[in-house]
Amino acid sequence: MPRVTVGEPTSGALCSPESASSTEDLELAELGEETPQKHTLLKLSDLLLLTSPSLGLQVCWFLLTSSGTPYLISLGIPKSIISVVWVTGPISGAFAQPILGVFSDESQHAWGRRKPFIVGGSLCATIFLLALAYSEELTAWIWISSVDRSASSAHLPTQILAVFSVVVTTFALQAYAVGVRALIVDNSPPSQQSVAASWAMRWNVLGNVVLSSVGFVDAQWSSTGVNSDDRFKLLAVVVAACTFTTVGLACYFITDQNVAPLRGRQPSLAQRSWSTISPTGLAKRWKQIPPHSRRVCEIQFWAWAGWFPVLYYMSTFAHETALSDKLEQRQRQFGEPDLELIESAKDFGFFASFAFALGAFAASILLQILDRYMPGFSRNLPRVWFASQCFLGYCMHLTFVARSGATAVIVVAMMGSTAAVTMWAPFALISAEISELSVGKQDSEVAWILGLHNMAISLPQIGSTLVCAVLLAVLKVLGVEDSVAWIFRLASIAVFWSAYLVHKSH
C-alpha cells in the first residue's frame, strides 16, 4: 500500500474538549485549519489509514469516562475526590490543547509536525492507563508489601499512583488528539474534509462498541470468575493494543512533512501560548464572534454542564442502582448481604457502557438515513437539537423510576441515543456560518471562532466537576445512597435551559 504524503498546511492551533467526543473536535478542526489545495482525492484505503488513530484516541477516553469512576471507587478513593480528579480533563481540553497546537505548528522535528505528538501522546497515555489498571500490583512491588486493601500503608500509595496516572493520561491524550486531528485536516483535500470527518466518527463509534462489547462479554460469559478490577485490566490491555496498532499503521503509511521556518523576528512560543488563552485576547475575540456562532457557544456552555455527569458517572449510576436493588432483595430474603451479589452488581457498570455505545450507534445510523432520504432534514437541525436536549433531560428524571440494574441500563441507553445529536447538530450549525466567513478572510479569524467554541464546551465541565464534588460530599454526609441519580436530576436543569436557548434562538 503506498504511503500518503501530507501537504504543507499553514499554522493554526487545534483545540478540543476532553470529555466530549473525538468526532466533535474533528468537525471543528476541519473548519479551523487551512487545508492544502489538493486535487488528488484520497482512496478509501488512504482515508481508513489516515483516520484510524481516532479509534485509539476514542477507546482511551471511553475507558476513562465509562469505567474510570467505578474503578477508582473500588480503590477506596472517595467520590468527591474522584470528581476533582476528573476536572483535569476539561482543564487540559480548554487550555493545554491550544498551547500544544501552537507547539505542533512550530515543530521542526525530523518526523514532522504531527507524528511526535501522536506517538508521544499515545505512548504516554497507554503506559499510564496500564499503570492505573495495575496500580495495586505496582505499589505492592515497589513497597514490597502484599496487596491488602485493609492495610492503609499499602492502600494510600495505590490511590496516589492511580490519581497521578489519571492526571498524566488526560494531559497526554491532548497531545495525541492535537496530532491526530491536525494530521487528518492537513492531508485531506477540501472536497473530502467531511468524508474524512465521517470516517473518523465511524472509528469513534467502532471504538466505543468494541471496548464496551469486550467488557460486556467478559462480564456475562467469563468462566474465570474474574472481578470487575481484573476486567478493567483486560480493557486497559485492549485499549493499548488498539492504540498501538492504529497509531503504528498511520505513522508507517502516512508521511508527515515539516514547513519552512518563518523568516524574521517571531514571538516566542511562551508569548504565543499566552496570547492563545489570555483573558484579554479571549474577551476581544468573543466580541468579534459572529452572532449565530455566539448563540451556539452559549447553548453548548449549558448543554455540556449537564453532559459531564452523564459521561463520567453513567457506569456508577447503573452500579449503584443494581447494588441497592440486590442488597435490598437479599436482606428481605436472608437478612444479610451477599458479597457475591455485591460483586455482580459491578457488572452493570459495563452493561451501561455497552448500552450507551449501542444507543449512540443506533441513533447515528438513524440520523444518517434521515439526512440522506429527507432533503429538508438538515434545515430542521435546531428542532432536532431541541428535541434531543428535552429527551435527555427527560431521561435524567427517569432515574426516579429506575430501581433495578436493568432499568438503569435502559435509561443510560436512552441517554446514549441523544449523544449522536449532540455530536452532530451544534457543529453543523456553526459550520454553516464559518464556511461563509472563511471566504476572503484569514484562517486565524476562523480558528479563533473554533477555539472559543472549544472553550465553551470545556469550561462548563470544570464547573460541573466542582459542583459534583461538593454535592457528592454533601449527599454522603446526609446518607443518601443514590447520590449519582440526584446528580443527574440536578444536571437536568442545565440541560433543559440549553433546550430553552435552542428554542429561543432558532
- Can you spell out the DSSP letters for 321-372? HHHHHHHHHHHHHHSS--HHHHHHHTHHHHHHHHHHHHHHHHHHHHHHHHHH
Report the alpha-carbon distance of residue 70 to residue 65 in Å, rounded.
Answer: 10
Query: HSE on the CB side for 10, CA within 13 Å?
Result: 10
Query: Helices 291-334 and 405-422 sit at what angle, rounded to 10 degrees?
Result: 170
In the numeric block, the cell 483535569 is attached to 88
What are 96's three cell numbers?
493545554
Within a domain: 443: yes
Domain range for 102 = 7-36+43-257+282-505
pTM of the model: 0.72
Which grid coordinates are listed for 165? 496516572
Specify if 275 maps to a domain: no
Assign residue 180 the CATH number of its domain: 1.20.1250.20
Structure letter (DSSP) for residue 39: -
Cell triple for 215: 467488557
Q: Does some domain include residue 276?
A: no
Position 387 in a domain: yes
Give me the number of domains the chain comprises.
1
> Helices (H) and strands (E) in the chain — how many of each?
21, 2
Pairwise CA distance, residues 237 & 218, whole Å: 14
- Which of 132, 256, 122, 128 has its CA nearest to residue 177? 122
Burial class from Cβ neighbours inside 10 Å (0-12, 13-18, 19+) for residue 124 reads middle
Residue 167 lies in a domain: yes
Contacts (Cβ under 8 Å, ≥6 apart) of 56: 122, 176, 207, 239, 242, 243, 244, 245, 246, 247
- The amino acid that residue 304 corresponds to is W
Q: Tens of pLDDT along the chain (506 residues)?
A: 444 443 333 333 333 334 344 444 444 334 334 434 444 788 888 889 998 999 999 899 889 987 888 889 888 888 778 878 888 888 887 877 777 777 777 777 778 888 899 999 999 999 999 999 999 888 887 765 444 444 444 578 888 999 999 999 999 998 898 888 778 777 877 667 666 777 777 788 888 888 888 877 776 665 445 566 778 899 999 999 999 999 999 988 887 776 655 555 566 666 666 666 677 766 777 777 788 888 999 999 999 999 989 988 888 888 888 877 656 555 555 555 555 555 666 678 778 888 998 998 888 888 778 877 887 776 788 898 999 999 999 999 999 988 888 899 999 999 999 988 887 777 767 766 655 554 444 444 444 566 677 778 888 988 888 888 889 889 888 888 788 899 999 999 999 999 999 998 86
Whether residue 264 is contained in a domain is answered as: no
**Considering only CA atoms, which of 197, 161, 168 is closest in space to residue 47?**
197
Alpha helix ranges (H) inside 254-346:
269-277, 279-288, 291-334, 339-345
CB 426 within 8 A of CB 498: no
Domain assignment of residue 15, yes or no:
yes
Cα 138–Cα 141–Cα 147 angle in degrees, nearest 5: 80
Q: Are 147 and 74 in contact (CB under 8 A)?
A: no
Residue 2, in any domain of the structure = no
Helix axes 381-397, 425-437, angle to 10 degrees: 150
Look at the block and give the residue holding cell 429561543. Answer: 504
Residue with cell 502516512: 254
